[in-house]
């Protein structure tokens, strides 16, 4: 008897508090209506502009109390609602990205804070049942390797670089756009696909200053149905809506 398929949702680059409320609402609607076995937060779920090295000499962008406000807001608007939608035995994985690393950079500049504060502690991730993957790390769902992707890069050929680096089916975020590349080996069955995920944050970031970009709203769905048997879907969210298997989500 074949194994019953398991559905995993992969959310990358939320960048709270510059997240897309409509896109996230559509994803939550999907999770509410489908039997999800697990969720992966694939990095940059917090934007951390207020402690970023990019704003080190721009005090106007460093809000007083900004760190705690971002933590509290992310719990209230994303983490708590997400956890309420998941089955009690759902797998929950949190991969840190380069924006979560901004806190480490901030502590390097303010070493007196070392040991007193961390993203993991502030969000109580372990207490909430999340498996935490540090910056630069990865996890696996079946035979799919997942990483944030800052260690791979962000060029136009990043999906090619991803699969050539991992030599396996791979998913990454970081670049806020969809792309794919397939690598083929010399033996039968040696085929791997590397794919990059769209984001769930604004597609018009302030740093772009209105310049056109290829950012898209979307997320990943991994359908695991046996040993090394998976299907990967990447719904694109347009104006807060997407369609999957004949059902429209969002509004």
Q: Tell me what pLDDT residue 118 has.
A: 95
Q: Is the N-terminal amide bond of 17 cis, ω within 30° of 0? A: yes
Domain encompassing residue 87: 6-135+210-250
Tell me which residue has tokens 């260690």: 151
Dist. CA 181–CA 60, nearest whole Å: 41
Domain membership flag for residue 148: no
Contact 164, 155 (CB under 8 A): no
DSSP state of 86: S
Which residues does 96 contact at the CB level (< 8 Å), separation at least 6? 43, 119, 132, 133, 134, 135, 137, 148
User: What are 208's two structure tokens?
Assistant: 């772009």
Tell me how many domains the chain contains: 1
Domain membership flag for residue 204: no
Domain membership flag for residue 173: no
Beta bridge partners of 214: none
Domain membership flag for residue 48: yes
Domain membership flag for residue 101: yes
Domain membership flag for residue 147: no
Domain membership flag for residue 33: yes
- pLDDT, block means (10 residues), the chain with 251 residues: 84 98 98 97 96 81 89 98 97 98 91 90 97 97 97 95 96 98 84 97 83 93 94 97 97 83
Which residues does 112 contact at the CB level (< 8 Å), separation at least 6? none
Dist. CA 147–CA 17, nearest whole Å: 22
Domain membership flag for residue 87: yes
Contact 217, 198 (CB under 8 A): yes
In CATH, what number is assigned to the domain containing residue 84?
3.60.21.40
Phi, then psi, of 43 in degrees rounded to 5: 90, 160
Phi, then psi, of 15 in degrees rounded to 5: 55, 45
Which residues does 43 contact at the CB level (< 8 Å), separation at least 6? 12, 13, 95, 96, 97, 98, 99, 100, 147, 148, 149, 150, 173, 174
């Amino acid at each position: 008897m074949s194994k019953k398929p398991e559905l995993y949702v992969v959310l990358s680059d939320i960048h709270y508090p510059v997240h897309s409320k409509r896109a996230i609402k559509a994803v939550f609607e999907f999770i509410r209506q489908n039997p999800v076995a697990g969720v992966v937060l694939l990095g940059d779920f917090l934007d951390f502009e207020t402690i970023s090295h990019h704003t080190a000499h721009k005090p106007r962008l460093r809000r007083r109390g900004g760190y705690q406000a971002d933590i509290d807001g992310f719990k209230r608007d994303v983490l708590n609602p997400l956890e309420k939608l998941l089955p009690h035995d759902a797998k929950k994985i949190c991969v840190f990205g380069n924006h979560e690393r901004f806190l480490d950079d901030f502590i390097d500049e303010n070493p007196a804070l070392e040991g007193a504060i961390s993203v993991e502690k502030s969000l109580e991730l372990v207490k909430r049942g999340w498996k935490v993957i540090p910056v630069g790390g990865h996890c696996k769902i079946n035979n799919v390797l997942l990483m944030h992707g800052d260690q791979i890069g962000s060029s136009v050929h990043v999906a090619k670089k991803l699969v050539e680096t991992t030599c396996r089916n791979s998913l990454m975020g970081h670049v806020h756009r969809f792309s794919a590349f397939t690598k083929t080996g010399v033996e039968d069955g040696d085929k791997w696909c590397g794919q990059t995920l769209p984001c769930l944050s604004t597609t018009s970031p302030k740093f772009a200053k209105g310049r056109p970009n290829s950012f898209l709203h979307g997320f990943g769905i991994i359908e695991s149905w046996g040993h090394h048997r998976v299907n990967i879907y990447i719904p694109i969210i347009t104006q807060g809506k997407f369609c999957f298997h004949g059902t429209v989500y969002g509004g």
